[in-house]
Structures are given as C-alpha cells and as structure tokens.
A and B are shown apart, each in its own frame.
Chain A
Amino acid sequence: MITGIPFEILFAIGFVILAPFIGAFIVGIDRKVTARKQGRVGPPVLQPLYDIFKLFEKEKVVVTNEVNFYILSHLIFVVFTGALFFSGGDILLVIFALTLAHVFLILGAYAAVSPYSHVGAGRELLQLMAVEPMLIIAAAGFYMVTESFAVKDIVLSPGLPVMTIPLIFVGIVFVLTIKLRKSPFDLATSHHAHQELVEGLTTEFAGPTLGMVEIAHLYETVFLLGIVWLFFASASMPWIGVLAVIIVYFLEILVDNTTTRVRWQVMLRSAWLVALVAGAVNLGVLALM
C-alpha cells in the first residue's frame, strides 16, 4: 500500500508540479466542449496554458503594489491547500487553508480600490459565505463515516463514502458550481464571454497578476475535483472516482451552458438551503444510526 511520509511528500510535490497542467487540460476540454455545444469549433485544448503564458509576457501594470502581495499569497495558499489535500492531510485544515486563500484574493480586490473590483470582492465574499458551511459539513460527514479527518484515512477506509453520505455529495456538487465560477453562480468574476461588471473581482489585475489568479484557478480546479473524487475514494478501485469526477464535471459544463446568472440573494439562499437540508438530514441519519 502506498502510505508513509515519503509517499505523502511525493504526492504533494506531484500535485504542485502536475496540477496546473492537469487543470489546464480540464479547463481546455471544458472550453472545447462548451464550444461544441454551441456549434463552434472552439479554441485548442491547451488554450488555458497559452493564455497564462501570454499574461506573463505582458507589461507589469498594477493599481497599487500591495495588490500583488495579496494575489501571490492567494496563489501560494491555494497551492498549499491542494498539496495538503493530496498528501493526505487533515481535510478540515485543508478547508480552512482554502478559506484563507480566498480571503487573500478578496483582500487583493479590496486593495485595488476600484468600483468594479470592490463589488467583485463583495460578491466573492458572499460566495465564500455561501460555500463554507457545505464544506465544513462535508468534513464532518467524512469524519462520521471514517472516524478521521485525515484524507489518507478516508481513502484507505473500506467502502465508498458516497454510499453513506450521498446527500452531502449532492450538496458538494451544488456548491462546486460556485467554486468553479460557473453560471449561474459566476457572480464575482467569470469566464470568457460571460462578462458582467467588466471582470468583477479581477478587473484591476493585469498581466502577471492576472496570470497568478489564473494559475491559482487551475490548482483549485484540480483540488476541488479531488474532493469530488474523495467521495468515491477506494484504494482498490481508484477509477470509480475518476469516472465520477468526469461525470460531475460534464454536468457542471452542462449547467454552465444552460443557465443564466442569478442574483446573490438566490445564490446565498439556495446554497445555504442545500447545505442545511443535506447536512441536517445526512448527518442526522448518521448520528441516529
């Protein structure tokens, strides 16, 4: 069995090196599939990488120097979050680290002092508040199933966690839309050709600064899909999880292309309602069993 500290470090390093490429591939496929759904040819699969490389070719333009500090912190903590997750660390700490990373992103937008990024920051904060309960409830759910917060213990535990916490899985898929910045919940900032509020949160980030945000997004995408995989984690049959991740991601693309952006009220209410129902029912049943 692949356990032990050397393997944990190996997984962490593997994540740090490979995740941007895997993430770019996923996002590239996403853009391709989206284009095909709209009857277009779409960009090359490696387009997300081209975009990022290009951003680093551009001039270093900033509104204030401090913005870069927050964005770099955001990137580093997103990488840290993912590395912690894939090295089998404590899932609750992973969630808290992710929150920290997003707080840095929001602070970066606040530090830009511009109307668009300010509104974007506020909305990102709303998204964070909408998502957080479901993530913590999911951590609690994993603990109730496997008696451990450690990702490695969850993976090694017998059975698929999703069998005992199916509602929490549904809840996570729901908030995944918010986290992946997909329609209908792309309030703070959104992907190409979905612009509202200029580019919201990222309005004032240009060139390499924006590049860092994009890289962080790739890391985060891989990490989030890792959480989806964890619901189907089985040491003997890892492909079940991969299959689930693919299905979930295609579902996200479908939702992205068939819905329109909602107001924040709808997002907050629906995300909280889902978290409340999924959490209360699923955890309640587990507690009474």
Chain B
Amino acid sequence: MSYITKSPWVIHYDGSSCNGCDIEVLACLTPLYDLERFGIVNTGNPKHADVFLITGGINEQSRAVVKNTYDQMPDPKVVVAVGICAATGGVFRECYNIMGGVNEVIPVDVYVPGCAARPESIIDGVVRALGILEEKRAKMAENGGDKK
C-alpha cells in the first residue's frame, strides 16, 4: 500500500507563461474544484513537493531555476507540463529567448494540453501523474529505498 498517491504535494512554477495557465492552476485549489479533496496541497517548496507543475515555455532566465527546482525535489517525483507553451513553447516558440517546452531542461511525465489549460484537464493530468508517481515509488523501493 502506498501513500504517495494519497498525498501528492505540488509545487507550481511559472516558466514564462502569460499567466493564463497559472490562473487555471490556482483555480483548481478554489472551492469549485477543491484539489485538497485528493490530499493535494500547493507547497511552494521543492523539498516538500512530489509533483512539479510548470506553466509556460522555458526561456534563458527560467532555465536554471527549473533545473534547480527539479533537482531539489526528493525522489520519487513527477513533472507535469501545463498548457501548450510548457509542452512546446506554443505561440512563443519562435521568440529569440525561448528554448521551447519544459522537456528541453528536465524530463516531463505528463503533458496537459490547452491554451489556457482548463482546470478539469489539469486535475486529470495530475491524477494521471499519480499513477506514474506510484510506479516510480515502487521502482525506488525495489532498489532498496534510495536512488543514488
């Protein structure tokens, strides 16, 4: 029995989003969608988090931060790229400073489509990510608890 799927804590980071997806992410926490039903909590601290939600494409400024934040999350962890910009760079793809989607910097587990992504699809994405999270946990447990 694993508890990680019952208590996924989320960190949310805005790569270079237009804030559209961010508002939708926050909307998930409001009474209408109430993500806390699933034990999901927005922590704002990578060291506490299990799920990394990123909105927006990656630019030169945010690249180091995304990498750093990801590195500081303890395993097992999953990354959810929210919105089309996080997936590919979206309409900003050709901009001089945009590197592209999140997968340019860190491995992404789930892509949530949309511009902006709707709260329902974000929740759906997170729930799918939980399955991957559980897989990673099981793998880690097999390897003796510690992924070096």
Contact = CB atoms under 8 A, between A and B. Distances in A.
B31 A40 contact: yes
Contact of A54 (B3, B42, B75): B3
Contact of A193 (B38, B42, B48, B50): B42
11 contacts: A40-B37, A41-B34, A47-B39, A59-B76, A59-B140, A61-B72, A192-B42, A193-B29, A193-B41, A206-B48, A210-B47
Nearest to B40: A43
Interface of B: 2-4, 6-7, 29, 31, 34, 36-39, 41-45, 47-48, 50, 72, 74-76, 137, 140-141, 146-147
Interface residues of A, number: 31
B4 A57 contact: yes
Interface in A15-49: 31, 35, 38-44, 47
A207 interface: yes
A50 to B, nearest CB: 4
Nearest to B29: A193
A270 interface: no
A181 B130 CA distance: 30
A192 B34 CA distance: 13
Given A42-B36, A58-B74, A199 B6 contact: no
A54 B6 contact: yes
Contacts of A195: 42-45
Given A42-B37, A59-B146, A54 B44 contact: no
Contacts of B75: 58-59
Contact of A57 (B3, B45, B47): B3
A53 B3 contact: yes
